Structure 1
Amino acid sequence: MTGKSCERVIILGIDGAGAYIKEADTPHIDGLLQSGSATYGAQTVYPSNSGECWGSLLHGVGPEKHEAQMYIKNNAQMPAGPVAASLFRRVKAAYPNSPAGAFVCWAPILTGAIEPLDGVVKHAAPDADLVPAIGAFIKEQPDFRLLFVQLDDVDAAGHKHGFGTAGQLQAITRADAQIGEIVRALAEADLLDDSLIVVTTDHGGGGARTHDHGSDHPKDMTIFWGCRGPGVVAVNELVGVSIMDTAAVALHALGLPLPADWEAKLPEGLFL
């Protein structure tokens, strides 16, 4: 890092990759996190399904509090309250004039896990089309404060081929290349050095059922989590990380206080 302050947070999520990233060829993720910290032993929430997991990442609390899964199941819009405010709502409250972006393949996230907010670009598309749209957003709105990305093909490959199989590992490598494209767009816009970037996944799979997830089996519950950016220490192996902690890391990096009722915490030793 160059000593710059953090101007923005980018969360790059790979759906369904669990800790299988360790077994796949991921040169772009490896290079990105070379000066940061990571763990293959982070934990997600139960039940280990995407609505519960992405909701917990975005809200800093567990599924029983954020209720994203309920809104997603009912194809409903998450209201501005009384559920726990999302990371997007908190960042927009602090930086109302700065844009933010949520780019996903799984469209229900945009309504079921994120409230209706002014100044938040929401875009849903297949992974292959999503990445160019993210590049355009970075180029056209470089003053953004928060960017959340959810790539879905890895989860689809797990359901098709089996989680942890060669077919899914190949999908992880393709997702790694797409992350490389996003990082390249950040570098070309001169936004890389003063950005905090988290790379993570929402859940694993192949525990109770080879082609599914949702159980409390370690293969379903264990995920990859990595971070780099201003103030981040290069730790050999983080311990005790929860998917919920992503929200705490994002707020801390942007100089915002952590809500007292959050379950999210700052991973020990992550920051200077």
Structure 2
Amino acid sequence: MAPYIIAGLWFLFVFLVIYTILAWKKEHLVENTDVIRRTWYLIFILGCLVYLTNHPYSLFEKWTSYLIVLVAFVIVDSLLFLNLYISKIGGHEMRMREKQVSETEELWNITNRKVDNMEFVLNAFEYPSYTRSKDEYVHELENSMNAYAGKEFLNVDVLPYRTSEERAAVLKGDTKGKIKRQLELRKAYYSSKDKYMLMPLQILDEEYVAKVTSISDEVNIHDVDTNILNMMLMVFTLAVDNNIHDKGGDEC
């Protein structure tokens, strides 16, 4: 049994070495860290079970050895999969890698810029006092959203999502089942590959979908864009009379 255990340990070591090299050289190959980490846990537990099956009393007779292995496991897990490293050995202080801090700072700057652009649009956009039809109401709402989206190199199309034909026009591609479930849950759907987002809207008690697309390869759509567009919908609803008027000015 000992040769198999030693072979398993060498296999685990080689696996960790390969993972570490890929993490340094080609980060996109190790993006699915959760699956790799679950495999790492599975191998560790399997090794413990195999050894305990053959040496059941070793857990009590050699408990210090198990403790050493557990500590080593936790350290390796923290360094490789939790992206932590020791900054002060004496104080046992752990911190995130500089890259993650840089990414967080970049996201913070992006959010601040988007909020500033939203504030500018809300103050500068000329809201109509009323609209003559639902189509005009939706069109003006779309214009207000695009006033913000244009500053972020995005484009917004407000699409009806009421009839089966209208829903079929929105739900396209291999992921239409997933898109439908997300919209039914009143959640936005993101496609990082095609750089677009679908977010459900309720306008004048009817269902619509805002399709947000990126008009630049260097621009991504963020969660904060969803929040901002929802806020712009709320402001538009408060600013524009939702009683539809006909051409003569009388309420319908």
Q: Point out the structure with max Rg over C-alpha.
A: 2
Provide the TM-score with structure 2 as the length reference. 0.23
* Greater RCO, 1 or 2 (C-alpha within 8 Å, sep 6+): 1
Pick the structure with more helix per residue: 2
